[in-house]
Structure 1
Amino acid sequence: MPICKLNDVKQSISDGQRLLGLDIGKKTIGLALSDAGLKIATPVKILYRTKFTPDVAELFKLVDEQNVGGLVLGWPVNMDGSTGPRCDSTRDFAYALMRIRDVPVFFQDERLSTQAVESAMIAADMTRAKRAVRRDALAAGWILQSALDTIHDRAITPE
């Protein structure tokens, strides 16, 4: 299965399946799940990266348990919209996942996702320690919710 566009989500996954959002970092992967109606993203957990094989095994365990039909990966473009080494790394990660399992993968612009959740946590007066523990899962939720909003906005037909 190739990397898909968000406007192909409805054709790429079965009814009732969910999407799993990933915020891929060097040390962690933040995870968030959509509901079956593809409307709401909920941060789930953070995977602390070790080696690719056990990380992917844990990821696909969640995919199987939660009836996930597709993955939404944060696409780390630069602020000017250009791609760089982080995009190359994310693309390589996506292709490695697809070699293990035939699963639709979608990219969602993640610019300012971490800053957005960090600002919200500061506004909620969370300590640095609590922010560090939740940051990546919340960023994954922000990325996935942005994708769900995009999917929903495209599904609405103008009158």
Structure 2
Amino acid sequence: MGTVRVGVAMSDPTGMLASPLETLRRAKDESDLDRLAELVVTHDVVGVVVGLPRHLSGASGASAQDASTYALSLTSRIGDVPVHLVDERLSTVTAASHLRAGGIPSRRQRSVIDQAAAVVILQTHLDTVRASGGRHL
């Protein structure tokens, strides 16, 4: 989750595969949170994953606090749908690597990098849950 844009990804109903959905611009009036809440309802979402930016050392900083506050604000808008904070370290680097491997040049990545990072974060979470024998979101 960024301070300027928020990439949005969704999984298939089985919780196996994450796909990009859209990119939202963070807004002072919190209309981005309203849009996320709308997406939760429209797509019958059963759980939300919010990236928690940590330093490479694992320590939390101001960005992690911002993500936690954002997740709390989203929670108040979506009722009983759980919100999970998930470590997003290196998600943008991984996403950029995947985009390059897919033939998308660096200059064209800007418009989709947030969605691609959201896919990495969600897919990592889905894989972790599945590996631990848990049920998807």
- On whether the aligned pair clears a TM of 0.5, the verdict is yes
- Which protein has the bigger strand share? 1
Unaligned runs of 5+ in 1: 1-23
Q: Given the alignment, which residue of 107, 111, 117 partners 2:89?
A: 111
Residues 33 and 73 of structure 2 are in contact (CA less than 8 Å); yes or no, is this contact kept in structure 1?
no
Report the 3-state secondary structure (helix = DSSP H, G, I; strand = E; otherwise coil) of the residue aligned with 1:42. strand
CA offset digits 1:1-60 (Å, max 9, x no partner): xxxxxxxxxxxxxxxxxxxxxxx1111100000111111111111012223431112111
Aligned-pair CA distance for 1:131: 0.4
More deviation, 56-65/144-153: 56-65
Report the 3-state secondary structure (helix = DSSP H, G, I; strand = E; otherwise coil) of the residue aligned with 2:127. helix
User: 1:130 — aligned with what?
Assistant: 108
Report the 3-state secondary structure (helix = DSSP H, G, I; strand = E; otherwise coil) of the residue aligned with 2:41. helix
User: 1:139 — aligned with what?
Assistant: 117
- Which protein has the bigger helix share? 1
Q: Given the alignment, which residue of 22, 25, 32 partners 1:48?
A: 25
List aligned pairs for 1:81-96, cutoff 5 A: 81-96=58-73
Aligned-pair CA distance for 1:87: 0.8
User: 2:75 — aligned with what?
Assistant: 98
User: 2:34 — aligned with what?
Assistant: 57
* TM-score w.r.t. length of structure 1: 0.78
In the TM superposition, structure 1's runs of 4+ consecutive aligned residues that sit over 3 Å from their partners are none
Determine which structure has more spread, i.e. the larger CA radius of gyration: 1
Residues 18 and 122 of structure 2 are in contact (CA less than 8 Å); yes or no, is this contact kept in structure 1?
yes
Aligned pair count reads 133
CA offset digits 1:33-90 (Å, max 9, x no partner): 0111111111111012223431112111111111101110111111111111111111
More deviation, 125-134/110-119: 125-134
CA distance in structure 1 between the aligned counterparts of 2:58 and 2:46, rounded to whole angstroms: 28
Q: Percent identity?
A: 32
More deviation, 37-46/47-56: 47-56
CA distance in structure 2 between the aligned counterparts of 1:140 and 1:52, rounded to whole angstroms: 23
* CA RMSD after TM alignment: 1.5
CA offset digits 1:105-134 (Å, max 9, x no partner): 111111111001112222333233420011
CA distance in structure 2 between the aligned counterparts of 1:132 and 1:61, rounded to whole angstroms: 25
